[in-house]
Structure 1
Amino acid sequence: MSTPAYPSVSDSAADADAAAAADTRGAATLAWPAALALAAAMGIGRFAFTPVWPLMAEEGGLSLAQGSWIASANYAGYLLGALAAVVWPMRHAGHARVQLAISLLAVALLTLAMPLTHDVMVWCALRLAAGYASASAFICVAAGRTVAPGDPREPAASALTYAGVGAGIALTGLACLALMAWGVRADGTWLALGGLTLALSAIAWPGLKRPSHVPSSTAHAGPPARVPRVTARLALHYGVFGIGYIIPATFLPAMAKQVIANPAVFGWAWPLFGLAAAVSCLLVPRLARARDEKRVWQVAQALMAAGMLAAALWHHIAAVIVAALLVGGTFMVITQAGMLTARRMAGAAAPRAAAIMTAAFAAGQILGPLLASWAGRWGAGLPQVLGGGAALLAVSAWRLGKITTEDKGAGHNAIGPQGCTH
């Protein structure tokens, strides 16, 4: 009598890996339009000024104070866009698609308009509007779903979608690096980035016209779903994340330039930051398999604090590289984990919860430079500011763990191939 054949452990593992690979391929097909939209809206609408700033300072004498005003205007616009989404939440998928199209077009036109003037106040207004448009686009993507709830491809689709932000940052940084090598001035760089926004949006749009999956209660008119109280606690920590990360995210190329003046070297700081952000989104679903997304948020925030501390204590290009990898490699992980946490706990109120989280983050981005300026008046330099931000992030990561299972009524979720976002 023959012994029945049972699948071995190795066969089961191989089948699981094959299934995961198939899920990833299917998720990529669904997620790439949203990823390109985020690359345009965030990589350029939110972060283009960072790599162009050194050129504008060198060519036009843009001071640190003026540059800070322009950057802060973008942060303020991002906050206004998020607050608008809280007050006027999206009611259905059709509304979200129209809003996303308008936002992407606005980012492109506002970027193309930057060379039309050299007035700092007009620049502030343009970047304010671009920040508003980028927040609107991000919320449209973050509140929707590329696949239906419960689909095994959803974790991979979410990771690929959020990787678009880092890819956009890296692409913007590489474009600025190439244009700098070709001798293109700041005005030409802005025009090139505006054209890049149009190109990315045009490529993404046919895929974005497909209906996205939204919570069923938002598919019809009626009063907005109620946001749970835990969203406020999550938003507080998300705002602290915005405070802590904004200093290195804004000044990383300038930090690199202080160490090495050669643009062929310091110019790589921003592409490296974006590349780390994109790769981290793709790796985390496997590294964080079967773990709660809040735990992923905690660990990523602690690593970000370590990167900032390295740059604060060590004035060397190696420290800048460490900061670029650890800050760039965690900020989109925290963004993804934070949004998944808030969306899961909010249930039907997911769009409004996403807007509240985005508003908290935007407020933190504005508060961060103000706190840095206040510290500077007391004699603190960039290393001390980075150290203080690292400490703030570390404390927040620890306190985040105090948000316990009492708030998990919507069910457990994990960022990973075996997890399922709700």
Structure 2
Amino acid sequence: MPSPAIRPVVLGGIVALAVAMGIGRFAFTPLMPLMIRDGGLDAATGAEWAAANYVGYLVGALTAARFADPRRGLRFGLVGVAVTTLAMAGIGGIPSPLASLFAGAGLRAAAGVFSAWALVCASGWCLAELARHRAEALGAWIYTGVGLGIALAGILAWLGGRQPADRLWLELGLIAALGAWLVWGFSHGASEAGTAQRAAAAPAADRSGQAALVVCYGAFGFGYIVPATFLPAMARALTPDPLVFGLAWPLFGLAAALSVAGVARWLKQTPRRRVWAVAQAFMALGTALPLAVPSLWSVAASALLVGGTFMVATMAGLQLARAAHPADPTPLIARMTAAFAAGQIAGPLTVRALGLLDIADGAALAWTGAAATVVLVGTAVWLWCEA
């Protein structure tokens, strides 16, 4: 059980990542099929809004290190996620289709910026505080928040699948606002003293291999994004019932939360490069499966395989960043997150480019999924050999 001094840090990290990633980054995935169903969105516009979110995430990752106090960036990020999510509820009321298109793209881009700030700053603040209390092993637990947030958004979309999508955005925005308020309280009482002491007492940064970490993290972003973006849409193509296709995303999120909890509980001493390598190997299988065998069972298996590994890889990568730069991991975490964002931008753009070459959507996804599988396997082999 965490001590009273570090309990707010762990709880704050869990809630922060649930809001920033589960809602700010990923809520659009289960809601996009419902918005298309409601007639407020088409597939092409949905892809453009998703791309805007990825670009915003890249901008946020590139600017997150500018916050001298990571808690300030965390708070700004979470408030921004809540505001942009609430604003998405009003997109359907805009009479002009062109204005609606630009408003939606702008809100998704802003949500990407805010969620990147929150992820980078939450990781920097939580991991540094836990290290100060010699409780680094608890750092893995904060990343269960991402899966919990994804599962929450997915379950809300699944249970409310017969509601208008606008109402679901409103409900998620209120949940995000509550989460931002909670994290504000958790982080307010955290120690402000000791930043200079940590910088003076921490071991020197190990710059060897930092570039390789950035490259591998970017490859991970490219590899996971095809199933992470298109799984609910794949499921919807196989069945029109939202109570069936809507299960893909809750499964994804629950698998993410449980897998991180399992690693935090039973694999504390396992080298993080090996944890990351194994996670990417299973992710590669999950990426390839629904493209090779399009069926509901393969989509469900992919949700479990990719959902059960992408946050393990995230956790392991960011813990390696902390180990490589103990005094202040935020700049390295920001560079890795920027590489990840660039990789995930490349995934949908590749699908779109193949589609523009008159390749059917399914073929475009298959070719992109094959490339993602090769990239994931290649980096997994490298990580295992370097462990």
Normalising by the residue count of structure 1, what TM-score does the alignment of the two structures yield?
Answer: 0.82
Q: Kindly indicate whether the alpha-carbon contact (under 8 Å) linking 2:8 and 2:190 is maintained by their aligned counterparts in 1.
A: no
Counterpart AA for 2:166: D
Distance of aligned partners of 1:252 and 1:218 in 2 relative to their CA distance in 1, 3 Å threshold: farther
Match of 1:100 among 53, 74, 77: 74
Distance 1:116 1:212, change over 3 A: same
Aligned counterpart, 1:53: 32
Specify the alignment match of 2:177 in structure 1.
198
Alignment partner, residue 117 of structure 1: 91
Most deviating of 334-343 and 144-153: 144-153
Query: 1:322-354: CA deviations, max 9, x gaps?
Result: 100010010100000000112211232411001
Residue in 1 aligned with 2:136? 154
Equivalent position amino acid for 2:153 in 1: T
**Alignment CA distance shift 1:249-1:149 (3 Å):** same
Contact 1:311 1:383 in 2 (8 A): no
Measure, in 2, the Cα distance between the counterparts of 1:402 and 1:378.
40
Gaps of 5+ in 2: 93-99
Match of 2:42 among 63, 67, 71: 63
Choose which of 351, 359, 366 in structure 2 pairs with 1:383: 366
Aligned: 1:330 with 2:309: yes
Cα distance in 2 for partners of 1:257, 1:192 equals 23
SS at match of 1:149: helix
Aligned to 2:148: 167
Paired with 2:267 and 2:342, the residues of 1 have a C-alpha distance of 29
Please give the alpha-carbon distance, in whole angstroms, between the structure 2 residues aligned to 1:229 and 1:168: 34
Q: Quick one: structure 1 residues 286 and 315, their matched pair in 2 at CA, closer, same or farther if it must change by over 3 Å?
A: same
SS of residue matched to 1:208 = helix
In structure 2, relative to structure 1, the CA distance for the partners of 1:362 and 1:319 (3 Å cut) is same
In the superposition, relative to structure 1, how do residues 148 and 258 fare at CA in structure 2: closer, same or farther (>3 Å)? Answer: closer
**Alignment pair present for 1:264 and 2:243:** yes
- Between the aligned partners of 1:298 and 1:214, the Cα distance in structure 2 is 37
Please say if 1:247 is aligned against 2:221: no
Match of 2:96? none
Q: Deviations over 1:246-296 (max 9, x none)?
A: 110011111111122211111111011001001111001244242110110
Task: Assess, with a 3 A threshold, how the Cα gap between structure 1 residues 374 and 357 changes in structure 2: closer, same or farther.
Answer: same
Query: Which residue of structure 2 lines up, in the alignment, with residue 413 of structure 1?
Result: none
Q: Specify which of 49, 52, 59 is matched with residue 73 of structure 1.
A: 52
Question: Is the contact between residue 20 and residue 81 of structure 2 (CA under 8 Å) also seen in structure 1?
Answer: yes
Whichever structure has more helix as a proportion of its residues is: 2
Larger Rg: 1
For residues 26-76 of structure 1, the C-alpha deviation after alignment (integer angstroms, 9 at most, x for no partner) is: 976641122011111111110111111011111125222111110010111
Is the Cα–Cα contact under 8 Å of residues 26 and 153 in structure 1 kept in the other structure?
no
Counterpart for residue 327 of structure 2: 348
User: Structure 1 residues 391, 96: closer, same or farther in 2, change over 3 A?
Assistant: same
Q: Match of 1:305? A: 284
State the percentage of identical aligned residues: 41
Give the aligned partner of residue 376 of structure 2.
Answer: 393
Q: Distance in 1 between matches of 2:312 and 2:240?
A: 31
Q: 34, 38, 41: which is aligned to 2:17?
A: 38
Summarize the Cα distance change of 1:46–1:219 in structure 2 as closer, same or farther, 3 Å threshold: same
Give the residue type in structure 2 aligned to 1:268: L
Q: C-alpha displacement at 1:122, in angstroms?
A: 0.9
1:178 aligns with 2:178: no
**For residue 339 of structure 2, what is the amino acid of its counterpart?**
A
How far the C-alpha of 1:386 sits from its partner, in A, is: 1.9
Q: Judge conservation of contact 2:223–2:372 (CA < 8 Å) in 1.
A: yes
Tell me which moved more, 171-180 or 238-247: 171-180
Whether 1:231 and 2:205 are equivalent positions in the alignment is no
Q: 1:212 to 1:174 in 2, by over 3 A?
A: farther
Task: Give the letter aligned to residue 282 of structure 1.
Answer: A
Alpha-carbon distance in 1 for matches of 2:348, 2:193: 36
| Cα distance in 2 between the residues matched to 1:214 and 1:55 | 48
Structure 1 residue 213 displacement after superposition: 8.0
**Counterpart-to-counterpart distance in 1, 2:107 and 2:141:** 30
Amino acid across the alignment from 1:129: A
Q: Does 1:316 align with 2:295?
A: yes
| Cα contact 1:166–1:275 (8 A) shared by 2 | yes
Change (3 A) 1:220 1:329: closer
- Is the contact made by 2:199 and 2:327 (CA closer than 8 Å) also made in structure 1? no
